[in-house]
Amino acid sequence: MLGIGVLAALVVAQSGAAPLPACSGNAAAIDSVANNDVQNNGDTERYALRGTVTNHGTRKQAPKVLQSVEVYQDGEKINEIGIPPLGAGRSYTFRQGVVRSVIAGEGTTHLVFRLEMHKPQNCAEGSAYRLRV
């Protein structure tokens, strides 16, 4: 496991989500993605990331809404995580593991978490959260 200094550097490298548009209905967006733990396995490090999607709107999402968080590492899609319909003001926590070489420099791995609304569209379409590890 890596020391506190590396974890602090991870937090500083976050760029956050774009501001939400004014919206009175369904406005789901990625609020945060943070590192929970780093495990050193000899040649690789495994980051245990945890993110939150919140419906900032005043109405619950329809029961048949299809939405996901697409995860990109250095421009390549590595995962897609289904997010259930959310009530007004409700959040959902997702987890994502990321593996990289122990010799990779700090801040050299670029991660993008993008909320995709498959059905129907929402006010915060295109919400994204960027992180460097």
The secondary structure of the chain as a DSSP string is: ---HHHHHHHHHT--EEPPPPP-SS--EEEEEEEEEEEEE-SSEEEEEEEEEEEE-SSSPPPTT-EEEEEEEETTEEEEEEEE----TT-EEEEEEEEEEETTSPTT-SEEEEEEEEEES--TTTT-EEEEE-
**Local confidence band at 2 (pLDDT 50, 70, 90 cut-offs):** very low
pLDDT at 101: 93
Domain that holds residue 64: 4-132
pTM, rounded to two decimals: 0.75
Q: What is the CATH number of the domain that holds 73?
A: 2.60.40.10
pLDDT at residue 131 tops 50: yes
How many structural domains are present in the chain? 1
**Local confidence band at 8 (pLDDT 50, 70, 90 cut-offs):** very low
Write out pLDDT tens, residues 99-115: 999 999 888 999 999 99
